[in-house]
Each structure stands twice: as C-alpha cells, then as structure tokens.
Amino acid sequence: MRRALGRWHRAHGRHDLPWRLTRDPYAVLVSEVMLQQTQVARVRPRYEAWLARWPDAASLTRAPRAAVIRAWSGLGYNRRAVNLWRAAAESLERFGAVPADERELRALPGVGPYTAAAVACFAGGRRTAALDTNVARVTARALLGEAVAPTLPNARLRAVATDWLPSRGARDHQLAVMDLGALVCRASAPACGECPLAGECAWLAAGRPAPPEPPAKAPAAPFPLTARFARGRIVAMLAEGAPLRTEEIVARLPARHRPHCERYLDALARDGLAAPREGRWELAGEGAAQGTSSMASPKL
C-alpha cells in the first residue's frame, strides 16, 4: 500500500504548494496555522505575502501586534495571529528558533497536538502522525474499514496511522495520504476507481458501508448571527486604522449585535486583539512592538 501510494503521489501530488518547498519550522508553522479551516487557494497568496514581510520568527516578533493582526485580517479566527506571534517570541526565548521537536512545540503557547505533529513531521522529518481530516479519513477507510474517522477512538486511529508510517520517509508518506484524501478519497463522492489503494482498501472491500447516523443536534445558528461574526467585524473596523469610541462601533454593527458590543470588546481584549486607550478602542499593540505575553492562549 505504501509503494502504490508513493507512485500515485509522485504523479499526482500537490508538489508545488509553497509550504512543501521548505523545511523551515517557522515557515511550516505559519502554513499550518493559516490552513486551519481555510482553503488552500485562499491561503497560498497570504502565506507568500506573510513570509515576504516576516521571513523568520525574529522579524515577526519585532512587528507590532496590531500589524500582525491587520495582516491576518480575512483569514478567520484573528486570535490565531496573536497566538502565532506569541509562539514565535517564546520559541526564540526558550529555544533560539522555532523547534522541530514535537514535545518542544507542544510547550509553545497556542500550539496543540496536530500543529506540533505537523511541524515535527513536515519540517523535521519526524516519524509522527499528524491527523488532519484527510489523513484521518484515509486511515479509517483504507486500514480500518470505517466510513468516517469520528466513529473511531482517537487513540486507536492515531496508533494505526503511526504504524502505517514507514521507518524512513514519513514526511513524504504523510503528504501523500493528505493529498489522497483531498483529491480522491474525499468525504463525499470518493473516486474509488482512481484510488491507488483500491485493491487493499478495507472500506471498499466491505462494500463501502455508510457511517452510523450521527446523534441529532440543534441546527447551528447562521454565521452572521454568531458572536464570532460580530467580533470579526469589530476587528475589521479597528484594522482600518482610526481608534473608535464604543458608540461608533455599536453604530456600525448589525442591530442584533449592538446590545452585546461591550461583551464582544471585553472578549477581544482578553484574546489580545483589541485594547482601550483614552476612551477609544484600537487594535492591541497599535503603533509599537510588544514584548512576549504570558496571557493564556487557546490551542491552535
């Protein structure tokens, strides 16, 4: 299966993605944070522009936090920009550079299990399983005969994915699995007739059993009705440059969000994205580089 996958990947893989042309842990970390829940086509130009502006961790940490937030605008989850900035600063302080060791990466603010494994594998060549949705789905189907990964205990899935890694060449293998999941073994309408693993795939051999019905849950609110949408709108307003009074921000929000504006601003302040100054609000760190923050950060 590994050999068949490798042959397919050499012919069909996404080899031109810019973050695959580097082994620099900092550049790989930037790409992994940007790619979370964001399409490759949207990330590519933003990634290239980011590295042209801040090519290493030192240049990023010298930048004012506000400039980093502004550069991130439009990629979603603006606090990821602050977490990335903090992780770069702490990497320099603790290790002298962004590390490629999984344990050291996990010690950085905001870096969770997937991000640490991905940087360790793709930058450091470490033999560790980075279970993004594509890798998890291909592993579940091809090796365990399951339609979707969430039906499996994560520890079992990780153990199987790790066993599948070759003793050498884990990076190339894992990139191949990712591409197979993105291009062929898709979540819906998988192209099994084009799959290099079709002859050995446990899910295909079992007749492609459907996943179990998920438990019923309340429908999610439309995105424009969510607090996340409103907070993003506020960050976009502040990114325009001029500090704004609370009442100016309220007036520019959709009507349903106006009563909650102060709560949104407090949340943005806690996340290190906005700050009050002289009765107005602005992006955190506007106009000056910031030191390393000890503020707790959500996991990336």
The dihedrals phi and psi of 127, each to the nearest 5 degrees, come to -90, 80
Q: Residues with Cβ < 8 Å from 20, sequence gap 6 or more? A: 14, 122, 175
> What is the b/e burial string over 262-280, where b = at least 16 CB atoms within 10 angstroms of the residue's CB?
eebbebbeebbbbbeeeee
Nearest of 60, 70, 69 to residue 24 by alpha carbon? 60
- Report how far apart the first and last C-alpha atoms of the chain are (Å, whole number): 32
Catalytic (active site) residue 32 = yes
Q: How many residues are recorded in the chain?
A: 300
Residue 274, both tokens? 């906005």
Q: Are 172 and 190 in contact (CB under 8 A)?
A: no
Q: How far apart are CA 178 and CA 189, in angstroms?
A: 17
Catalytic residue from among 32, 102, 282, 286: 32
Helix (H) or strand (E) holding 259: none
Active site residues: 32
